[in-house]
Structure 1
Amino acid sequence: MTDARRRTLVVPAEDGTVQALILQSTQARLGPALIGVMSARTAADPVTGQERARARLHVTLPESTSTHDVTAGDRLDLGPHGLLHVVEVRPQDPGADGPETPSSARGHVGLIWRGEPTAGGAG
């Protein structure tokens, strides 16, 4: 697939997980959660000062809405709604901004959703 044709993709897997690549400024449904990528940029890590690709996700569940700043490798516990694993964060191209930004310049977040409840969400 060429960059000019990049788009948000959601693919259910045979093991019951759902994999998604969500472009910045778009959203997708993964199980009961509606996940929106508000931003994907390079920023300094608040602890180490090292530059890392970071994303801000907007997560809407049936009973709540929350915002999370994430990097690749992070896991979000959605309680009884499962676990969201951040596989990849690609920042938006430098200098690209605004609603007319082509999809080829937008950042994206790669996610895997697992629907089984986590220990913290059981009960």
Structure 2
Amino acid sequence: MDMDNTLLELFSGSDEIESLPRGAVIFAEDDTAAEMFALLEGEVEVFAQGRVLQTLSAGSLFGEMGLIDAQPRSAGCRAASDCRLVRISAKQFSFLVQHMPAFAVLTLRGVSARLRGMLDRELPA
């Protein structure tokens, strides 16, 4: 399943599409998580404690951890370029996970890819 195409199919008609300029903060570390996001176009930087941890590209889901564990945001995110994204509320997330198993799998793949990417950078070769 191609994540980019699946996200575009799921959210291209959404009323929640937002355009953000480069540098716009989407959320900050320690914010309360009330939504997650699907990145349709552009790039988003994930940052914590003043350093960039990862750059996400179009087709990525992000911000889901706070919805899953009801904890404050462990990292912040900002637009690394002009971007378009979809805001997915906690209620929408719950509905999508329950009624669209493919969305749940996409979400898990995204979390897994970010974790592996961070481990690859942190562990010595």
User: What is the TM-score when the length of structure 1 is the normalising length?
Assistant: 0.30
More helix by share: 2
More strand by share: 1
Bigger-Rg structure (1/2)? 1
User: What is the TM-score when the length of structure 2 is the normalising length?
Assistant: 0.30
Q: Which has the higher contact order (CA 8 A, sep 6+)?
A: 2
